[in-house]
Amino acid sequence: MNTKALLARLKRVAPASFVLATVVMAAPADAQRSNPVTPPAGNPDAAPVPPVETAPPAMIRRITVQGAQRIEAATILTYITLHEGDMYSEVAADRALKALFATGLFSDVKINWDGTIMTVNVVENPIINRVEFEGNSKVTTKDLEKESQMKPRMVFTRAKVQSDVQRIIELYRRNGKFAASVDPQIIQRPQNRVDLIYSINEGPTTGVSRIIFVGNKAYDDDTLRKQVATEESAWWRILASNDNYDPDRLLFDKEQLRRYYTARGYADFHVSSAVAELTPDHSGFYITFTLDEGKKYTFGKVEILSRIKELPAQALRPLVGIKDGDLYDEGRVEKLKDTLVNAVGSKGYASADVGVRLRRDPDTRKIDLVLRIDQGPRVYVDKINVVGNNRTLDRVIRRELRFQEGDAFNRDLIDRSRTRIRSLGFFKDVTIKNSSGSRPDKTDITVNVEEMSTGEVSLGAGYSSTSSFVGEFSYTERNLFGRGQFLRASVSMSTISKQYQLSFTEPWFLDRPLAAGIDLYKWITDYNQANYEGDVTAAGIRFGFPTSEYGSVQMRYTFRVNKVTPFSGAPASLLQEIQLDGDQTNTSLVGFTFGYNTLDDYLKPTHGVMFSLSEDFAGIGGGLKFLKTEGSFTTYAPLFWDMVGQLTLNSGFIQGYGGSTVPIEERFFRGGDSFRGFKLAGIGPRDTSVTGDYGSLGGDFYAGGTAQARLPDLLPADYGMQFALFSDFGTLGHLDTPFRGAAYPNVKDNMALRASAGISVKWKSPFGPVQIDLGVPFAKTWYDKSEFIHFSAGTGM
């Protein structure tokens, strides 16, 4: 077929095919041969369709980076997968573009390709110079900094800024500021740096207008409102922090209500819903709790199924304090489970399982308990890990552990170890947990401690009813160099005294459980109540060692130089005593103290006992000869209504020998801190010829004690206030023979019982600890000196 005939045929087929064919016919002959035209399938007469041509991939001969300021070009190239010598493609370039954006280092990225050179153009995100918060008063800057992800020297990204805004708004909502808004502002600085400022408009506080309970029949609304943490807003609650809507606190309130009901027999109780609705004027919230109380149950039978041979059900039965007919209390069930877990753990079964099953009988409204104890393998301690001690040496903590690697797992020893570590006073919190070891019969123990500041440079001032105004400068380190050593150097001055002290203690002398220490001190004190000034200079050494898990003995030697200077107008009895003993005496003192302590907590005990017995012997050198004995016993126990009871009994006696009498500076004085309701040295023998609060002579014997009930927290724990009811009782007297009888008719020495009662308030205030004791004597002699308010406060910086 000639060319003209072919063109005529193509025109009849389709105009587009004609154009395409024209292009093909116009192509060189060699091109036609290398790219044959294939006619459409099924139509051999149709015009053939040529294939779509694609550009062949080209090799990247060079990659350049433009726009980088802080980031090195080589660093940028490590983020992309294309390299010189690779074949360029649009897919690979797009992948490189996304990888650079994903780093968060760049606000804009472009990739240009000219056939041989690939150019990467970047615009770097700025670096944050500083982050500031403006307009905040309800929420502290410190709390805002914790919520903010953006920090100085970080790369600025808008996504993180928006995330910070949402986090700050949520923080304000939890503090009752639902109208709060945050406007992030940027100030450009040289060298591609920016200042980030969060401008905050807190808006009004959205309080709680009313708390409503629906479905409650057993307890009225007022009773239930006392169980939840959220409070209704009121003008007199100026210090309250829970009178605003907080979703997290609402969940806590639901749990508090559940605990309240389940502790009083309502085992099926649950909160159906807790809804917070904003009032029409947006001034507060209505919070509505919908309750389903259910039936009230009592305990039925308690069945124990134990599969541990060493702990048969009969041996565990005494641990069960629940009796048939007792009101159901979920808290008692949990305590019983914990008791059984500890009992099983004390036998070395760390992986034993104690399961509790409740069998309800709706007809009799009784709940039977079935306690199933599965043995599991006996477990031994594999590894002991100590974490969280950034400053304290490992050995300081490990030497307090009552178990070692390879010992059988024992829950009692773990609890005891935690108590001993807490009693060091170096840590805010101590937790001991066990986890799976290298084998099924092995367990790893992790001791996690949270350290607190143990060093203190204090410049303080304060006031107390005993010492009036007090000023102090001291350096104290309870954990010197992380070795557990104690060092204190102090200078204290008040209206009535000057004290200088240096003390050092090594708790593990020669790497043995032997505490060794030295004391140097000088005290100059105006004993106004006793009409003399005392000047004491002393040096001493001491050693202590444990006698058992809970017992210890301390031995000491002290050499003291005492000077006594009577005031003008001092009574004749005191002048006669100083004339007999001399105005300066030297005392060489050897003594010991035996202590026994089983308290469960060093800082806030709830049960346990403390006992101490001290004996001091003077006469090995020096001028004074006497024997001094003191003893003290204290016990703690839980009472009703979450109160903790404390009973303390103490006594002391000092007796001269070898013709020596006991000088006034060695006698016992009681009152003030040691006997609330009475002034300092307010009870005991007194020379009544001296008017006012003076004339106290001290006594050779005292006996007494304290009965105290620590009340549950009446205010939120944030306030740091603690209340206690107390009663102090005791007696003081028994002067040496020369100062009794007809020769001194004005000296009164009556061993009558004294007693007082009152309330004690302790407050961890922002400016230091404050203690106020309000005491009223209800048993005293006519010459005793009473005091209703005893106050002390201090500051340190």
**Quick one: DSSP state of residue 736?**
-
Token pair in block for residue 660: 């020596």
The residue count of the chain comes to: 797
Binning pLDDT at 50, 70 and 90, where does residue 38 land?
A: very low
Helix (H, G, I), strand (E, B) or coil at 184: strand
**CA separation for the pair 46, 40 (Å, rounded):** 6
pTM for the full predicted model = 0.54
pLDDT digits (tens, 9 = 90+) for 193-222: 889 999 998 887 778 889 999 999 999 999
C-beta neighbour count of 515 within 10 angstroms: 18
**CA separation for the pair 731, 751 (Å, rounded):** 6
The predicted structure's pLDDT at residue 35: 44
For the chain, give the mean pLDDT: 82
pLDDT digits (tens, 9 = 90+) for 63-93: 998 888 888 888 888 888 888 888 888 888 8
Binning pLDDT at 50, 70 and 90, where does residue 580 land?
A: low
Structural Rg of the chain based on CA atoms: 42
pLDDT digits (tens, 9 = 90+) for 444-475: 999 999 888 777 665 555 545 445 555 667 78
CA distances from 117 to 69, 87, 114 (A): 21, 11, 6
Residue identified by tokens 């045929």 is 9
**What's phi and psi for 426, nearest 5 deg?**
-100, -15
**CA separation for the pair 83, 79 (Å, rounded):** 11
pLDDT digits (tens, 9 = 90+) for 268-293: 999 999 998 888 777 788 999 999 99
**Cβ neighbours of residue 621 closer than 8 Å, sequence gap 6 or more:** 559, 586, 588
Q: Which of 197, 196, 72 is nearest to 126 (CA)?
A: 196
The predicted structure's pLDDT at residue 83: 86
Binning pLDDT at 50, 70 and 90, where does residue 350 land?
A: low
Q: Which of 23, 20, 81 is nearest to 47 (CA)?
A: 20
**CA separation for the pair 17, 12 (Å, rounded):** 10
Lowest mean pLDDT of 259-263, 540-544, 557-561, 761-765, name the range: 761-765
Give the max Cα distance, the chain: 163
Amino acid making up residue 89: S
